[in-house]
Amino acid sequence: MEISLDNMQVSFMTAGIKTASDSVSLTAAETEIKSRSEAMDKFQKEYRQLKAFVKDYRDTLN
C-alpha cells in the first residue's frame, strides 16, 4: 500500500478543519448558554419586582 504525501496533507487539513469546526460549534454553544443565562437573570429580576409589587399591593389592602 502506498500513501502519498498529498493524501497525508489532505487528511491533516481535514482534521484541522474539523477541529476548527468543533471550536466554532463550542463558541456558538457558549454564546447560546450565555444568552439563555442572561435571559434567565432578566426573568428572575422581573419576577422579584413583580413579587414585591404584589406584596406591596396586598399590604395596602390590609
Examine residue 4 and state whether it is found in any structural domain, yes or no.
no
Among 17-21, 45-49, 57-61, which stretch is predicted with the lowest mean pLDDT? Answer: 17-21
| C-alpha to C-alpha distances, 21 to 1, 7, 32, nearest whole angstrom | 31, 21, 16
Q: What percent of the chain has pLDDT over 70?
A: 58
Q: Which domain holds residue 34?
A: 15-62
Examine residue 50 and state whether it is found in any structural domain, yes or no.
yes
Per-chain mean pLDDT for the chain: 77
What CA–CA distance (Å, rounded) separates 61 from 55?
10
- Whether the pTM exceeds 0.75: the reply is no
Examine residue 62 and state whether it is found in any structural domain, yes or no.
yes
| C-alpha to C-alpha distances, 39 to 8, 31, 33, 44, 53, nearest whole angstrom | 46, 12, 10, 9, 21
Examine residue 46 and state whether it is found in any structural domain, yes or no.
yes
Examine residue 10 and state whether it is found in any structural domain, yes or no.
no
Examine residue 36 and state whether it is found in any structural domain, yes or no.
yes
Examine residue 7 and state whether it is found in any structural domain, yes or no.
no
Examine residue 54 and state whether it is found in any structural domain, yes or no.
yes
pLDDT tens digits, one per residue of 20-34: 666 666 677 788 888
Question: Into how many domains does the chain fold?
Answer: 1
